[in-house]
A and B are shown apart, each in its own frame.
Chain A
Amino acid sequence: DGGITQSPKYLFRKEGQNVTLSCEQNLNHDAMYWYRQDPGQGLRLIYYSQIVNDFQKGDIAEGYSVSREKKESFPLTVTSAQKNPTAFYLCASKGNLHGYTFGSGTRLTVV
């Protein structure tokens, strides 16, 4: 079945560490997105990529980095520069004909 796989589901990070969240899709979608969701709020866009080897900053890109070396993969790195990284992170993709497909999310906690 086609879909998006995010891993890990739960991640704990010590302060000052970088961590990378994985996002893989087999839907052949060109566009991929990373969102952050905090309690009681909607989705906020971190980074997005419309095509391989290209990506753009979203509304809250500071402290994050991404890469898009393959169509299927769009990993997100949460760097030590991110002041408040504890959140729920969602990866999504979008094709031309269909709506959004979301991954199951990664809950990151800084300890």
Chain B
Amino acid sequence: AQSVTQLDSHVSVSEGTPVLLRCNYSSSYSPSLFWYVQHPNKGLQLLLKYTSAATLVKGINGFEAEFKKSETSFHLTKPSAHMSDAAEYFCVVSADLDSSYTGIFGSGTRLLVRP
């Protein structure tokens, strides 16, 4: 069985400060993990994906995530927040790289960026 927990429903940071969005997962086997972003009134956009090739995954817009098997975590980070990062972020765990849509979506974390 698989599950994913996004630990914070809302995160608020000041522009220029680091971003940390937390995601914990459980899976009976080696999972594929994804982070998606949804800006207001838009659809999902893939930020990055983990496929067991490297534990530190770099994505678009300066985001990266580290897969930590011992902690069953896949937290999303960015060194310096930009106003345009304000959006909702979804962590997804899936058994199949090609089927993230059938994976388990987290409940989402809304990132607020203060000027």
Contact = CB atoms under 8 A, between A and B. Distances in A.
B52 interface: no
B94 to A, nearest CB: 10
Given A48-B43, A50-B41, A40 B108 contact: no
A92 B106 CA distance: 16
B108 A35 contact: no
Interface in B84-109: 90, 97-98, 100-102, 105-108
Contact of A99 (B42, B90, B97, B100): B90
Interface centre among A43, A99, A105 (most CB of B within 10 A): A43
A50 B40 CA distance: 11
Q: Is the interface of A mostly helix, strand, loop or mixed?
A: strand
Contacts, number: 48
Q: How many residues of B sit at the interface, in one of the four size bands?
A: 10 to 19
Contact of B36 (A39, A42, A50): A42
Contact of B49 (A42, A44, A56): A42
Given A99-B90, A99-B105, A99-B107, A40 B97 contact: yes
Interface of A: 33, 35, 37, 39-45, 48, 50, 56, 58-59, 88, 90, 92, 99-100, 102, 105
